[in-house]
Amino acid sequence: MRPLAELEARRAAALLFDIDDTLTTRGRLTAGAYAALERLKHAGKRVVAVTGRPAGWCDHIARMWPVDAVVGENGAFYFAFAQGRLEKRFQDDALVRAAKRAQLEAIAKAILAAVPGCAIASDQPYRETDLAIDYCEDVPPLPLEAAERVAALMREAGLTARVSSIHVNGWFGAYDKLAMTRRLFAERFGQDLDAANREAVFVGDSPNDAPMFGFFEKSVGVANVRRFAAQLAAAPKYVTQRTSGAGFEELVYHLLK
Ligand SMILES: [Mg+2]
């Protein structure tokens, strides 16, 4: 990972960002990080949140935050708000989502029994597609090995599993943050993501961001990404000096320089 100062910022036209522990700091959205986001949007950049957070949260974010769109539940959908209307595009239709959701309950029970100390995430009721197991948000923090164990159990049950800084998410299907971002760019922005790669910057902090770290030439980790160094399938190309929201601010002001 190279220092952020070496990132060529001049042609950056879009910022895609993870939320937890990238934009937010220990579970809070600071005024500084939000102001940075707003300044970037006002500067005419394309701004897209790419998160594991649930549909309920993403509805709010797409409507109210200074963003062009949000990819949620690790790539199960994107939401975009324009001309007073919220457009929702899902990977699976409503019937398929309901059928998949019905199978997640039994898997969740087996995981809770097998890994002491974890819990169903408090944002689970607002999810449309996936199962979120909390290992580090509302429960006393568990070691990363416990998160890996949860992910392994999910995979044994036929789910795709990804570890974020707070949850382990599992879902039926091969999609991820990158696949839905590709679709968002094609459908909403009329851009092929391969062609847009050089003008886009992605910032994240944890293993569920690895597909984005690997794909984007200008992928950035906030400094706390080092916590997951051993678990990253692909590392970001650049790293900030500061952690979480302060690292996000550092990146935005580098892009606006
Ligand atoms: Mg994160």
Do 87 and 6 have their domain in common? yes
Do 248 and 209 have their domain in common? yes
d(CA 203, CA 211): 12
pLDDT tens sequence for the chain (257 residues): 999 999 999 889 999 999 999 999 999 999 999 999 999 999 999 999 999 999 999 999 999 999 999 999 999 999 999 999 999 999 999 999 999 999 999 999 999 999 999 999 999 999 999 999 999 999 999 999 999 999 999 999 999 999 999 999 999 999 999 999 999 999 999 999 999 999 999 999 999 999 999 999 999 999 999 999 999 999 999 999 999 999 999 999 999 99
What residue type is 135 in one-letter code?
Y
Do 26 and 98 have their domain in common? no
For residue 130, the domain's CATH number is: 3.90.1070.10
Distance 62 CA to ligand 1 centre (A): 18
Distance 149 CA to ligand 1 centre (A): 19
Q: What is the pLDDT of residue 177?
A: 92
Do 187 and 83 have their domain in common? yes
Strand order in the sheet with 200-204: 2-3, 238-239, 219-221, 200-204, 14-17, 46-50, 69-72, 77-82, 85-90
The number of residues in the chain equals 257
Distance 171 CA to ligand 1 centre (A): 18
Distance 73 CA to ligand 1 centre (A): 12
CA atoms within 13 A on the CB side of 145: 1
Distance 164 CA to ligand 1 centre (A): 6
Note the pTM of the prediction, 2 decimals: 0.94
Distance 204 CA to ligand 1 centre (A): 6
Distance 209 CA to ligand 1 centre (A): 7
> Domain total for the chain?
2
Domain extent for 66: 2-91+175-256
Do 194 and 239 have their domain in common? yes
Looking at every residue in the chain, the average pLDDT score rounds to: 96
Yes or no: say if 214 and 31 are a contact pair by the CB < 8 Å rule: no
Do 61 and 129 have their domain in common? no
d(CA 168, CA 107): 13
Do 99 and 136 have their domain in common? yes
Do 132 and 76 have their domain in common? no
State which of 124, 147, 171 marks the end of a domain.
Answer: 171
Distance 166 CA to ligand 1 centre (A): 8
Distance 27 CA to ligand 1 centre (A): 10
Distance 23 CA to ligand 1 centre (A): 8
Do 87 and 98 have their domain in common? no
